[in-house]
Amino acid sequence: MITAEDLHKNYGGTEALKGVGFKVNRGEIFGIIGPDGGGKTTLFRILATLTGADSGRASIGGLDVVRDFGQIRRMIGYMPGRFSLYPDLTVEENLNFYAMVFGTAVADNYNLVRDIYGQIEPFRKRRAGALSGGMKQKLALSCALIHRPKVLMLDEPTTGVDPVSRREFWQMLKKLKEQGMTILVSTPCMDEATLCDRIALMQNGGILSIDTPEKMVAAYPEKLYAARSGNNYRLLETLKARNDIKMCYISGESLRVIFRTEETPKMEGMEIRRMEATVEDCFIYLMQQ
């Protein structure tokens, strides 16, 4: 449904995209996972026909993002990272406006947005600028959906959203996927990766890896251990100074350690156990290659 081939984009002397390519299947939730400044937004803007790549090609549903931009704009719903609705219009006015711009009416596609819009409908007379973060996201998603797009592009939809609203948001995406929508979504938050069907890890304008989260984790090439002690900071300093340690970093309540040797060293006060890698561990590993 979405293809990107060898996309390059420079801003002044900065290479925002250094040859990015991937394919997104119809009805799939595809996640672009990576930190700010990695090129995610540039990629989204190219796919949403808002800016051109310097070289490379991209298409949505077989239509070229440069040549067929008019048709593409009608078939995608794009939600930019920054809140981009009209703060001085009410909730209801914003939704009506977006419906009208796309030549449709709220009533025609109400069933598609009912689950989401229904939650903010009690506040339909409130100005959009006065909504909380979670409610703004729901309104923005409703506006991106109101013309019944085939492809939804969401650039960091959960940034700054609290954990409860974030979980709700992902549940909504899952429902939309079940209705056949193709969803491209970006996030800097590694623990959201497992909510996608497939993910591309993105860093410094390039893609580190593309796979399902499960396969990516299963392909982690090292034996990873979790180690902890009463003082993890001191333990980290101790382990870093050893030469039988390949990699060592903090991760929540314990440290992650990769040894150069087969057996793990015993240290007083240190608990150690084997553990499966997470997507975040994969990201860290790939960044260092």
- Written as one letter, the residue type at 44 is F
Under rule CB under 8 A, residue 289 binds other proteins: no
CB proximity list for 272: less than 8 A, separation 6 or greater: 225, 226, 227, 257, 264
| Smallest distance, other proteins to C-beta of residue 138, A | 11
Report the residue from 11, 23, 35, 52 that binds other proteins according to the rule CB under 8 A: 35
The interface with other proteins within residues 166-195 (CB under 8 A) comprises 166-167, 188-191
- The torsion of the CA quartet 28, 45, 77, 143, rounded to 10 degrees, works out to 130
From the number of C-beta atoms within 10 Å of its C-beta (0-12, 13-18, 19+), residue 191 rates as: exposed
Q: Which span sits near other proteins by CB under 8 A: 3-11, 46-54, 104-112, 229-237?
A: 229-237
- The residue assigned the tokens 């009463």 is 230
- Written as one letter, the residue type at 141 is L
Under rule CB under 8 A, residue 135 binds other proteins: yes
Under rule CB under 8 A, residue 87 binds other proteins: no
Q: Which span sits near other proteins by CB under 8 A: 57-65, 68-76, 89-97, 164-172?
A: 164-172
Under rule CB under 8 A, residue 155 binds other proteins: no
Under rule CB under 8 A, residue 280 binds other proteins: yes
Under rule CB under 8 A, residue 276 binds other proteins: no
Residues recorded for the chain? 289
The answer to whether 58 touches 49, Cβ cutoff 8 Å, is no
In the structure encoding, which two tokens stand for residue 167, read together?
């979980």
Q: Which is nearer to other proteins, 100 or 233 (CB)?
A: 233
Q: At what angle do helices 91-101 and 133-145 cross, to 10 degrees?
A: 20
Q: Which H helix or E strand runs over 120?
A: helix 110-120
Report the residue from 243, 261, 288, 289 that binds other proteins according to the rule CB under 8 A: 288
- The residue assigned the tokens 């299947």 is 25
Q: Which span sits near other proteins by CB under 8 A: 23-31, 146-154, 173-181, 247-255?
A: 247-255
Under rule CB under 8 A, residue 249 binds other proteins: yes
- The residue assigned the tokens 């409610």 is 135
Cα–Cα distances in Å, from 268 out to 238, 250, 261, 272? 12, 19, 19, 11
Q: Which is nearer to other proteins, 2 or 196 (CB)?
A: 196
| Smallest distance, other proteins to C-beta of residue 191, A | 5
Q: Residue 285 CB: number of other CB atoms within 10 A?
A: 19
Size of the site for other proteins (CB under 8 A): 39
The interface with other proteins within residues 52-81 (CB under 8 A) comprises none
Under rule CB under 8 A, residue 161 binds other proteins: yes
Under rule CB under 8 A, residue 123 binds other proteins: yes
Per CB under 8 A, residues contacting other proteins are 34-38, 123, 132-135, 159-167, 188-191, 203, 231-234, 236, 249-253, 280, 283-284, 287-288
